A = this chain, B = another copy of it.
Amino acid sequence: MESRIDRIKKQLHSQSYKLTPQREATVRVLLENEEDHLSAEDVYLLVKEKAPEIGLATVYRTLELLTELKVVDKINFGDGVSRYDLRTEGADHFHHHLVCIECGAVDEIQEDLLGDVEKVVEEGWNFKIKDHRLTFHGICHRCHSDDGNEDKGSGE
Protein backbone atom coordinates (compact mmCIF):
# COMPACT_ATOMS: atom_id res chain seq x y z
CA MET A 1 0.00 0.00 0.00
CA GLU A 2 2.78 2.40 0.91
CA SER A 3 4.63 1.38 -2.19
CA ARG A 4 1.59 2.08 -4.22
CA ILE A 5 1.32 5.56 -2.82
CA ASP A 6 4.99 6.01 -3.58
CA ARG A 7 4.50 5.06 -7.16
CA ILE A 8 1.57 7.43 -7.53
CA LYS A 9 3.72 10.10 -5.92
CA LYS A 10 6.41 9.51 -8.50
CA GLN A 11 3.86 9.69 -11.24
CA LEU A 12 2.67 13.05 -9.97
CA HIS A 13 6.22 14.34 -9.67
CA SER A 14 7.06 13.22 -13.18
CA GLN A 15 4.43 15.67 -14.38
CA SER A 16 5.57 18.24 -11.85
CA TYR A 17 2.59 17.89 -9.59
CA LYS A 18 2.98 17.54 -5.85
CA LEU A 19 1.52 14.96 -3.56
CA THR A 20 0.02 17.39 -1.07
CA PRO A 21 -1.50 16.12 2.17
CA GLN A 22 -4.97 16.56 0.71
CA ARG A 23 -4.07 14.61 -2.40
CA GLU A 24 -2.45 11.90 -0.35
CA ALA A 25 -5.50 11.59 1.87
CA THR A 26 -7.68 11.31 -1.21
CA VAL A 27 -5.50 8.63 -2.75
CA ARG A 28 -5.51 6.70 0.51
CA VAL A 29 -9.27 6.70 0.59
CA LEU A 30 -9.34 5.38 -2.94
CA LEU A 31 -6.85 2.65 -2.09
CA GLU A 32 -8.72 1.67 1.06
CA ASN A 33 -11.95 1.37 -0.87
CA GLU A 34 -10.65 -0.19 -3.99
CA GLU A 35 -13.60 -2.57 -4.25
CA ASP A 36 -16.11 0.23 -4.28
CA HIS A 37 -17.13 2.72 -6.89
CA LEU A 38 -17.15 5.97 -5.00
CA SER A 39 -18.65 9.22 -6.16
CA ALA A 40 -16.84 12.49 -5.52
CA GLU A 41 -19.17 13.10 -2.62
CA ASP A 42 -18.45 9.64 -1.20
CA VAL A 43 -14.73 10.31 -1.41
CA TYR A 44 -15.19 13.69 0.18
CA LEU A 45 -17.01 12.28 3.19
CA LEU A 46 -14.41 9.56 3.67
CA VAL A 47 -11.48 11.95 3.34
CA LYS A 48 -13.12 14.30 5.82
CA GLU A 49 -12.81 11.62 8.47
CA LYS A 50 -9.04 11.79 8.34
CA ALA A 51 -8.56 15.33 7.10
CA PRO A 52 -11.62 17.29 8.22
CA GLU A 53 -10.42 20.56 6.77
CA ILE A 54 -10.50 19.42 3.17
CA GLY A 55 -12.95 21.08 0.81
CA LEU A 56 -15.21 19.42 -1.70
CA ALA A 57 -13.72 21.40 -4.56
CA THR A 58 -10.30 20.06 -3.69
CA VAL A 59 -11.59 16.52 -3.90
CA TYR A 60 -13.04 17.26 -7.32
CA ARG A 61 -9.78 18.84 -8.41
CA THR A 62 -7.78 15.91 -7.14
CA LEU A 63 -10.02 13.34 -8.79
CA GLU A 64 -9.79 15.24 -12.04
CA LEU A 65 -6.01 15.26 -11.77
CA LEU A 66 -5.87 11.56 -10.99
CA THR A 67 -8.10 10.90 -13.97
CA GLU A 68 -5.74 12.82 -16.22
CA LEU A 69 -2.83 10.80 -14.91
CA LYS A 70 -4.80 7.60 -15.50
CA VAL A 71 -4.51 6.65 -11.87
CA VAL A 72 -8.27 6.42 -11.73
CA ASP A 73 -10.99 5.98 -14.32
CA LYS A 74 -14.10 8.06 -14.23
CA ILE A 75 -17.17 6.02 -14.92
CA ASN A 76 -20.86 6.55 -15.06
CA PHE A 77 -23.46 3.91 -14.33
CA GLY A 78 -26.38 6.12 -15.26
CA ASP A 79 -27.37 7.21 -11.79
CA GLY A 80 -26.46 10.85 -12.23
CA VAL A 81 -23.05 10.88 -10.58
CA SER A 82 -19.58 10.12 -11.81
CA ARG A 83 -17.73 7.42 -9.99
CA TYR A 84 -14.01 7.00 -9.65
CA ASP A 85 -12.38 3.65 -9.99
CA LEU A 86 -8.75 2.99 -9.23
CA ARG A 87 -7.11 1.59 -12.30
CA THR A 88 -5.55 -1.77 -11.63
CA GLU A 89 -1.82 -1.28 -11.54
CA GLY A 90 -0.05 -2.62 -14.55
CA ALA A 91 -3.24 -3.49 -16.35
CA ASP A 92 -3.28 -2.05 -19.83
CA HIS A 93 -7.03 -2.19 -20.13
CA PHE A 94 -9.84 -0.89 -17.99
CA HIS A 95 -11.76 -3.62 -16.24
CA HIS A 96 -15.41 -4.37 -16.90
CA HIS A 97 -18.45 -4.14 -14.68
CA LEU A 98 -21.51 -6.16 -13.81
CA VAL A 99 -24.36 -4.01 -12.59
CA CYS A 100 -27.20 -5.87 -10.94
CA ILE A 101 -30.61 -4.47 -11.82
CA GLU A 102 -32.09 -6.16 -8.75
CA CYS A 103 -29.86 -5.08 -5.89
CA GLY A 104 -27.68 -2.44 -7.53
CA ALA A 105 -24.42 -4.19 -6.70
CA VAL A 106 -21.51 -3.51 -8.99
CA ASP A 107 -19.04 -6.35 -9.48
CA GLU A 108 -15.86 -6.31 -11.45
CA ILE A 109 -14.34 -8.40 -14.19
CA GLN A 110 -10.57 -8.04 -14.23
CA GLU A 111 -10.08 -10.42 -17.13
CA ASP A 112 -9.79 -8.64 -20.45
CA LEU A 113 -12.09 -10.84 -22.56
CA LEU A 114 -12.18 -8.27 -25.37
CA GLY A 115 -9.00 -9.20 -27.21
CA ASP A 116 -10.69 -10.84 -30.15
CA VAL A 117 -13.46 -8.28 -30.34
CA GLU A 118 -10.98 -5.43 -30.41
CA LYS A 119 -9.07 -7.04 -33.21
CA VAL A 120 -12.26 -7.29 -35.24
CA VAL A 121 -13.14 -3.67 -34.53
CA GLU A 122 -9.72 -2.30 -35.34
CA GLU A 123 -9.63 -4.09 -38.65
CA GLY A 124 -13.27 -3.93 -39.62
CA TRP A 125 -13.83 -0.31 -38.68
CA ASN A 126 -10.34 1.05 -39.16
CA PHE A 127 -10.44 2.39 -35.65
CA LYS A 128 -7.40 2.57 -33.38
CA ILE A 129 -8.63 1.54 -29.93
CA LYS A 130 -7.10 3.33 -26.97
CA ASP A 131 -9.58 2.49 -24.26
CA HIS A 132 -12.89 0.80 -23.69
CA ARG A 133 -15.88 0.76 -21.39
CA LEU A 134 -17.92 -2.38 -21.00
CA THR A 135 -20.78 -2.80 -18.58
CA PHE A 136 -23.25 -5.62 -18.37
CA HIS A 137 -26.63 -5.07 -16.80
CA GLY A 138 -28.42 -8.08 -15.41
CA ILE A 139 -29.04 -10.27 -12.41
CA CYS A 140 -26.08 -10.91 -10.16
CA HIS A 141 -25.24 -14.26 -8.62
CA ARG A 142 -26.57 -13.12 -5.24
CA CYS A 143 -29.97 -12.30 -6.65
CA HIS A 144 -30.50 -15.63 -8.36
CA SER A 145 -33.14 -17.58 -6.48
CA ASP A 146 -32.02 -20.91 -7.90
CA ASP A 147 -29.61 -21.38 -5.02
CA GLY A 148 -32.31 -20.63 -2.46
CA ASN A 149 -30.39 -17.70 -1.08
CA GLU A 150 -32.87 -14.85 -0.73
CA ASP A 151 -30.36 -12.43 0.70
CA LYS A 152 -30.53 -9.47 -1.61
CA GLY A 153 -27.38 -7.77 -0.33
CA SER A 154 -27.14 -4.09 0.35
CA GLY A 155 -26.14 -2.99 -3.10
CA GLU A 156 -23.60 -0.35 -3.88
Contact = CB atoms under 8 A, between A and B. Distances in A.
B131 A137 contact: yes
A90 interface: no
A66 to B, nearest CB: 15
A56 interface: no
Contact of A121 (B113, B118, B120): B113
Contacts of A125: 98, 107, 109, 141
Given A78-B74, A78-B76, A125-B98, A136 B113 contact: no
Contact of A136 (B76, B131, B139, B144): B131
A113 to B, nearest CB: 5
A64 B94 CA distance: 30
Contacts of A98: 121, 125, 127
20 contacts: A76-B78, A98-B121, A98-B127, A117-B117, A121-B136, A126-B141, A126-B144, A127-B136, A127-B138, A127-B141, A129-B136, A129-B137, A130-B139, A131-B137, A131-B138, A132-B134, A132-B137, A133-B133, A133-B134, A134-B135
Closest 4 CB pairs of A and B: A126-B141, A128-B139, A131-B137, A130-B138
Given A113-B120, A121-B136, 15 more contacts: A98-B121, A109-B125, A113-B117, A114-B117, A116-B116, A118-B136, A127-B136, A127-B139, A129-B138, A130-B138, A131-B136, A131-B137, A132-B134, A132-B135, A134-B135
